């Protein structure tokens, strides 16, 4: 999916979800826009809901979806969780080795990639940390940073399928406009044909996204936008429900779902992925 996107000049939206409502909503956005889409699950959600439940939920909801969709484990430094997810046949995993020193990061990434590939699962590699804490994983301080040459060489040696480099973005909401580095993505794209991933997408403008996609990024992660749409729609609904003393859970779910679907459909258009489902290989 992401290689096709890179060749065609768009990016696949990779959207973090945390329950059935949010998963249904982002899949609805993909169908509405005829876009390929990657459903992402945090390590925290896997630990809370259980790998088996998430696996079965995705299988049930994606069964009748008419666009290509994939199931991806986001930021995971825990080898035991990675092993469980790989054994469950998810599409891909992000092994987050950004808390390890370089030698350990390379060695363990090679081990995870070998384990995943044996099961037909792809690996996204992160060895230099992207700023911000997301669902309990990450750091607000820069710990490890390497040259684009090192990143390309390590990806080749470990067999990683996708790369998640530092590109000036961070997880969470921005308090000021970040110093974005699309030129770094372009330098890396010139050294490797592996898909490049942009983390920390929430809060960037359409022009910001286009600069990264033009530079070679073909997977863009969105998480905070889903959480905010979900919670703000919930709050708005509950305020009206309290004022009218009218309590209707199905209506609450419908309002939340609509808000999440709308915000992801907007991002799909920004990424140029709308209408790109036809001809995109399914990861299922």
Catalytic-residue membership of 103:
no
Catalytic residue among 74, 122, 161, 208: 74
Residue 267 and residue 95: Cα distance in Å, rounded?
25
Residue 233 and residue 240: Cα distance in Å, rounded?
11
Instruction: Identify any residues that bridge with 219 across adjacent strands, giving them in sequence order.
Output: 12, 197
Residue 218 and residue 5: Cα distance in Å, rounded?
6
Which of the 8 DSSP states describes residue 141?
S
Kindly write down the DSSP assignment for every residue of 88-135, as one continuous string.
Answer: TT-SEEEEE-TTS-HHHHHHHHHHHHHHHHHTT-EEEEE-SPPBEEET
Looking at the chain, list the stretches that DSSP marks H as alpha helix, in order from N- to C-terminal side: 2-8, 20-33, 43-49, 51-62, 79-87, 102-118, 148-158, 182-189, 206-215, 224-244, 249-270
Q: Which of 51, 66, 60, 48 is nearest to 24 (CA)?
A: 60
Output phi, psi for 89, to 5 deg: 80, 30
Q: Beta strand 69-76 with 37-41: parallel, antiparallel or unpaired?
A: parallel
Consecutive H or E run containing 15: strand 12-17
Which residues are catalytic, by number?
74
């Amino acid at each position: 999916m992401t290689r096709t996107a890179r060749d065609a000049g768009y990016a696949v939206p990779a959207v973090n979800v945390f329950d059935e409502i949010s998963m249904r909503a982002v899949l609805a956005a993909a169908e509405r826009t005829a876009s390929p889409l990657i459903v992402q699950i945090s390590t925290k959600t896997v630990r809370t809901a259980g790998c088996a439940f998430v696996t079965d939920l995705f299988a049930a909801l994606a069964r009748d979806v008419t666009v290509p969709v994939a199931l991806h484990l986001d930021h995971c430094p825990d080898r035991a969780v990675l092993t469980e997810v790989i054994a469950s046949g998810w599409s891909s995993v992000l092994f987050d080795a950004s808390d390890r020193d370089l030698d350990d990061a390379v060695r363990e990434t090679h081990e995870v990639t070998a384990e995943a590939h044996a099961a037909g699962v792809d690996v996204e590699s992160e060895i230099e940390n992207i700023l911000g804490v997301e669902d309990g994983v990450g750091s607000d301080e820069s710990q490890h940073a390497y040259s684009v040459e090192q990143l390309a060489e390590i990806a080749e040696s470990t067999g990683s399928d996708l790369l998640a480099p530092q590109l000036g973005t961070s997880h969470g909401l921005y308090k000021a406009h970040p110093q974005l580095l699309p030129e770094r993505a372009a330098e890396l794209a010139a050294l490797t044909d592996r898909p490049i991933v942009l983390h920390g997408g929430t809060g960037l403008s359409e022009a910001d996204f286009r600069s990264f996609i033009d530079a070679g990024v073909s997977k863009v992660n969105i998480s905070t936008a889903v959480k905010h749409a979900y919670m703000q729609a919930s709050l708005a609904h509950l305020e009206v429900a309290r004022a009218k003393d009218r309590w209707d859970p199905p209506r609450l779910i419908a309002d939340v779902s609509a808000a999440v679907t709308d915000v992801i459909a907007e991002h799909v258009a920004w990424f140029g992925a709308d209408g790109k489902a036809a001809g995109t290989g399914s990861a299922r």
